């Protein structure tokens, strides 16, 4: 059978673009790609990249204050949000153009429209055109989920946070995951009065308990109000605000409500279920270790599969798919020991096993230290850094590393190499420290602070 394409990709985010480029440029495939929004997907357009730029911008207030403590004669003026937003949008335009050029240079045909799947080898574009392909790859990512409730339509999601006309004075952030926590810190850094409602016992569920408690305490010390075991029961518009009634009966007015209560796989209306593509309870596409669905000609990568929802993982999955199917190089994405960073203030970097997981497993030692870093100590700030290792008591292998502090993202990237390689605590110990640094504490912790015996 003759097809219009060897591969048709639905979704122009990091995973889809990587798969398309490798299949076309290195695999010699005829590739088409459909994207209904902006090229670059969540990470480039409404996620990691603009968020990190906002994190950087929001941190300069404290940096300028600290500079004065070091002898610089500086004065922080009010933050100019419109100017920053204009530059941010220009940068996103530049990045989107770079993604487009990458695809075009690889020979990929771009369709700027929505596409759905008609049968195992056919997609239909919103323009009405139908195209056939030997293989179809779904890479449509995720989408913010807003729980239904009275007045829930008054809330915005992370998608809108990069394009606000003006900074609000009072913000409620509903949620306690990394997106909620990051935006709470960003807004507070811009001088906004921030309150968080989270239904759980502590924010940043899934991360090491000691590390997330450390982050929460620092956020509160920076002026963020965190109300745990609390949800927004009702929201209503008043002449001057959004009035929010909490589940405990507390009533408070805000200028903006950000709902950051998680993201769901973006599979609605793609036509997958009718074809027999198996979906999970959240709508995620069920795939095997080769990213193949229950329909052999259809594959899926990235957040739409709800495996490890991180941009670099989506890129690895897309590349492995293209290598396997179009380059005759069977490859599987490795989802073990994937490092991650939460861009709160302070940052949280993590790779591998948490202390709670180690305790449940048994036979681990915990090495941990907290200290005041030189830079902010000199400036008179009470900030504290946390360094933590989870070590197998028998083999001495470092099973997990957790860092809370400035530049934790940069440190955890390098620590992850050692952890991924299976380094032992003694490997860390015989590594000579770089002094004076924060990271030297990772190689100078000699005695465990806790042991969790075999269960």
What pLDDT does residue 78 have? 86
The whole-number average pLDDT for the span 59-85 is: 91
Q: Taking 90 as the threshold, does the pLDDT of residue 351 lie above it?
A: yes
Residues of the chain with CATH 3.30.390.30: 346-452
Determine contact, residues 45/38, Cβ cutoff 8 Å: yes
Determine contact, residues 241/253, Cβ cutoff 8 Å: yes
Q: Taking 80 as the threshold, does the pLDDT of residue 1 lie above it?
A: no
- CA pair distance 79, 329, nearest whole angstrom: 51
Q: Considering the chain, what is the average pLDDT of its residues? A: 97
Residues of the chain with CATH 3.50.50.60: 5-144+264-326, 152-261
The whole-number average pLDDT for the span 33-61 is: 95
- The set of long-range contacts for 335-339, using a CB threshold of 8 Å and a minimum separation of 24, is 335/307, 335/308, 337/416, 337/419, 337/420, 338/308, 338/310, 338/312, 338/313, 339/412, 339/413, 339/415, 339/416, 339/419
What pLDDT does residue 454 have? 86
Segment 209-249, tens digit of pLDDT: 999 999 999 999 999 999 999 999 999 999 999 999 999 99
214 is catalytic: no
The CATH topology of domain 5-144+264-326 is: FAD/NAD(P)-binding domain (3.50.50)
Please report which confidence band the pLDDT of residue 110 belongs to, taking 50, 70 and 90 as the band edges.
very high
Q: Which tops the pLDDT comparison, 411 or 76?
A: 411
Token pair for 327: 């380059």
What pLDDT does residue 455 have? 77
- CA pair distance 232, 302, nearest whole angstrom: 31
Which is the catalytic residue, given 229, 250, 435, 452? Answer: 435
Backbone angles phi, psi at 282, to 5 degrees: -100, 5
Q: Quote the pTM value.
A: 0.96
Token pair for 423: 């380094």
% of the chain residues with pLDDT over 90: 98
DSSP designation for 23: I
What pLDDT does residue 183 have? 98
Q: Compute how many other C-beta atoms are within 10 angstroms of the C-beta atom of residue 414.
A: 12
- CA pair distance 44, 42, nearest whole angstrom: 6
Distances (CA, A) of 365 to 100, 396, 422: 49, 9, 16
Token pair for 411: 């440190």
What pLDDT does residue 77 have? 78
% of the chain residues with pLDDT over 70: 100
Segment 120-179, tens digit of pLDDT: 999 999 999 999 999 999 999 999 999 999 999 999 999 999 999 999 999 999 999 999
Distances (CA, A) of 350 to 11, 49, 74, 334, 424: 29, 20, 35, 17, 17
Please provide the CATH number assigned to the domain covering 152-261.
3.50.50.60
- CA pair distance 31, 280, nearest whole angstrom: 28
The whole-number average pLDDT for the span 425-454 is: 97
- CA pair distance 285, 20, nearest whole angstrom: 19
Question: How distant is the alpha carbon of residue 183 from its chain centre?
Answer: 12
Determine contact, residues 85/162, Cβ cutoff 8 Å: yes
Q: Taking 80 as the threshold, does the pLDDT of residue 87 lie above it?
A: yes
The CATH topology of domain 346-452 is: Enolase-like; domain 1 (3.30.390)
Kind and range of the H or E run holding 341:
strand 340-342
* DSSP code per residue over 70-93: TT---------HHHHHHHHHHHHH
């Amino acid at each position: 059978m003759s097809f219009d394409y060897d591969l048709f990709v639905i979704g122009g985010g990091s995973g889809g673009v990587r798969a398309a480029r490798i299949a076309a440029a290195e695999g010699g495939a005829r590739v088409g790609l459909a994207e209904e929004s902006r090229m670059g997907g969540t990470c480039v357009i409404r996620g990691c990249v603009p968020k990190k730029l906002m994190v950087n911008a929001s941190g300069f207030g404290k940096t300028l204050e600290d500079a004065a403590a070091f002898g610089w004669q500086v004065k922080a003026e009010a933050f100019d949000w419109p100017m920053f937003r204009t530059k941010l949008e220009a940068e996103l335009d530049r990045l989107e153009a770079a993604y487009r050029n990458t695809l075009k240079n690889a020979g990929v045909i771009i369709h700027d429209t929505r596409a759905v799947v008609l049968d195992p080898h056919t997609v239909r574009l919103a323009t009405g055109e139908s195209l056939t392909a030997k293989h179809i790859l779904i890479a449509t990512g995720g989408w913010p989920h807003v729980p239904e409730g009275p007045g829930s339509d008054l809330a915005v999601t992370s998608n809108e946070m990069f394009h606000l006309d003006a900074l609000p004075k009072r913000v409620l952030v509903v949620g306690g995951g990394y997106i909620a926590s990051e935006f709470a810190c960003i807004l507070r850094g811009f001088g906004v009065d921030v309150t968080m409602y989270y239904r759980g016992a502590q924010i940043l569920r899934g991360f090491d308990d000691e590390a997330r408690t450390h982050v929460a305490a620092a956020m509160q010390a920076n002026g963020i109000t965190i109300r745990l075991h609390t949800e927004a029961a009702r929201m209503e518009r008043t002449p001057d605000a959004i009035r929010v009634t909490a589940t405990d009966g507390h009533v408070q007015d805000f200028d903006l409500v950000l709902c950051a209560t998680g993201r769901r796989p973006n599979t609605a209306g793609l036509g997958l279920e009718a074809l027999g593509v198996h979906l999970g309870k959240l709508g995620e596409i069920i795939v095997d270790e080769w990213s193949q669905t229950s329909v052999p000609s259809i594959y899926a990568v990235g957040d739409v599969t709800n495996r490890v929802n991180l941009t670099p993982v989506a890129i690895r999955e897309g590349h492995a798919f293209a290598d396997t199917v179009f380059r005759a190089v069977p490859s599987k994405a490795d989802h073990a020991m994937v490092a991650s960073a939460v861009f709160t203030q302070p940052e949280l970097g993590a790779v591998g096993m948490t202390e709670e997981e180690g305790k449940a497993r048994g036979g681990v030692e915990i090495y941990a230290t907290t200290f005041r870093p030189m830079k902010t100590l000199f400036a008179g700030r009470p900030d504290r850094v946390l360094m933590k290792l989870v070590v197998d008591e028998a083999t001495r292998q470092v099973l997990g590393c957790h860092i809370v502090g400035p530049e934790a993202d940069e440190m955890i990237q390098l620590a992850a190499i050692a952890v991924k390689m299976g380094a032992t605590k003694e490997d860390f110990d015989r590594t000579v420290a770089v002094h004076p640094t924060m990271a030297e504490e990772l190689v100078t912790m000699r005695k465990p602070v806790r042991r969790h015996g075999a269960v």
